[in-house]
A = this chain, B = another copy of it.
Amino acid sequence: MELSHRGKLFMGLAQQAEADLRELLAIPGNYAVLFLQGGATQHFAQIPMNLAGEGDSADYVVTGHWGEKAASEARPYVKVNIAASSKDEHYLRLPPRETWQLDPRAAYVHYTPNETIHGVEFHDIPDVGDVPLVADMSSDILSGPLDVSKFGLIYAGAQKNIGPSGLVVLIVRRDLLERAGRPMARIFRYAEHAANDSMLNTPNTWGWYLAGLTFQWLKEQGGLAAMQARNQAKARLLYGAIDGSGGFYRNPVAVASRSRMNVPFTLHDSALDADFLKESEAAGLLALKGHKALGGMRASLYNAVPLEAVQALVAFMADFAKRHG
A residues sitting closer than 8 Å to B (CB atoms) are: 1-2, 4-5, 7, 37-42, 44-45, 72-74, 76-77, 157, 159, 163-167, 183-188, 200-207, 210, 287, 304
List, sorted by A's number, 20 A–B pairs whose CB atoms are closer than 8 Å.
A1-B164, A1-B210, A37-B37, A38-B38, A38-B42, A39-B187, A39-B201, A40-B201, A41-B187, A41-B200, A45-B184, A72-B186, A73-B187, A76-B183, A159-B202, A165-B205, A166-B166, A166-B202, A166-B207, A204-B204
Distance, CA A169 to CA B41, complexed state (A):
19
Set of chain B residues within 8 Å of A72, measured between Cβ atoms: 186
Set of chain B residues within 8 Å of A304, measured between Cβ atoms: 2
Closest 5 A-B residue pairs measured CB to CB?
A: A166-B204, A45-B185, A41-B201, A76-B183, A1-B164
Cβ-defined partner of A187 (8 Å) among B1, B38, B164, B183: B38
Q: How far is the CB of A182 from chain B (nearest CB, A)?
A: 8
Q: Is A42 within 8 A of B166, CB to CB?
A: no
The residue on B at minimum CB distance from A4 is B287
Set of chain B residues within 8 Å of A205, measured between Cβ atoms: 164-166
Set of chain B residues within 8 Å of A164, measured between Cβ atoms: 1, 204-206
Distance, CA A165 to CA B37, complexed state (A):
11
Distance, CA A228 to CA B186, complexed state (A):
35
Set of chain B residues within 8 Å of A163, measured between Cβ atoms: 1
The residue on B at minimum CB distance from A183 is B76
Contact of A73 with B159 at beta-carbon distance under 8 Å, contacts A38-B38, A42-B37 already known: no
* This chain's copy number in the assembly: 2
Distance, CA A37 to CA B183, complexed state (A):
22
Distance, CA A41 to CA B201, complexed state (A):
7
Q: How far is the CB of A46 from chain B (nearest CB, A)?
A: 8
Q: How far is the CB of A99 from chain B (nearest CB, A)?
A: 28
Q: Is B76 within 8 A of A202, CB to CB?
A: no
Q: Is A184 within 8 A of B76, CB to CB?
A: yes
Cβ-defined partner of A206 (8 Å) among B2, B7, B77, B165: B165
Q: How far is the CB of A14 from chain B (nearest CB, A)?
A: 12
- Among A40, A45, A202, find the residue whose CB has the most chain B CB atoms closer than 10 A: A202
The residue on B at minimum CB distance from A202 is B165
The residue on B at minimum CB distance from A185 is B45
Contact of A203 with B165 at beta-carbon distance under 8 Å, contacts A38-B187, A185-B77, A187-B38 already known: yes
Set of chain B residues within 8 Å of A1, measured between Cβ atoms: 163-165, 210
Q: How far is the CB of A214 from chain B (nearest CB, A)?
A: 11
Distance, CA A202 to CA B206, complexed state (A):
16
The residue on B at minimum CB distance from A77 is B185
Set of chain B residues within 8 Å of A287, measured between Cβ atoms: 4, 7
Q: Is B166 within 8 A of A44, CB to CB?
A: no
